[in-house]
Amino acid sequence: MKKKKVESLCFWCGSEMGFAEREEEEGKITPERAIVSYFPCRACGDKFKGGITLFEAQETPFYEDQPSVGNGVDLFPSGRWITLPQDTTLQGAFGGKATEEIRIAGMGFISPVAFSALCENSSGGRPTNH
Ligand SMILES: [Zn+2]
């Protein structure tokens, strides 16, 4: 397999994150710029750490060939996310167990329905749509 250098882009904001190597697939044109993973760039990573960050995700891909988030989680993020203040009460939007897991991790994935509801109810959050 031939390797090709690809300018990797941040999935969350589209900014350039430097080069990554990608195996060139036979018969396919490897793009010069691509989203290589869901790993955030430094700017997004800092924003995500500013509170409890929830990512909108669903069980089916948003576009062809979209990879799942991985680590055994079959979810596909839309790219929309919201960071809530650390002391936000998440109860109500989720079950108790999920709430606790999200609080410990500081981030989590939620369904598009829950995400929309959260954006409407939240006053302190900063929803983005990149
Ligand atoms: Zn970014």
Using DSSP, state whether 56 is helix, strand or coil.
Answer: strand
Summarize pLDDT for 63-110 with one digit per residue, the tens.
Answer: 888 989 988 889 999 999 999 998 887 766 666 777 888 888 899 999
21-30, Cβ contacts within 8 angstroms, sequence gap of 24 or more: 30/4, 30/6
CA of residue 36 to ligand 1 center, whole Å: 12
Phi first, then psi, for residue 129 (nearest 5°) are -140, 80
pLDDT at residue 126 in the model: 54
CA of residue 46 to ligand 1 center, whole Å: 9
- CA distances to 32, 34, 68, 90 from 53, rounded to whole Å, are 30, 24, 18, 11
CA of residue 31 to ligand 1 center, whole Å: 19
CA of residue 96 to ligand 1 center, whole Å: 30
- Average pLDDT score over the chain: 85
In this prediction the pTM is 0.78
pLDDT, greater one: 38 or 1: 38
**Domain boundaries along the sequence of the chain:** 3-34, 49-127
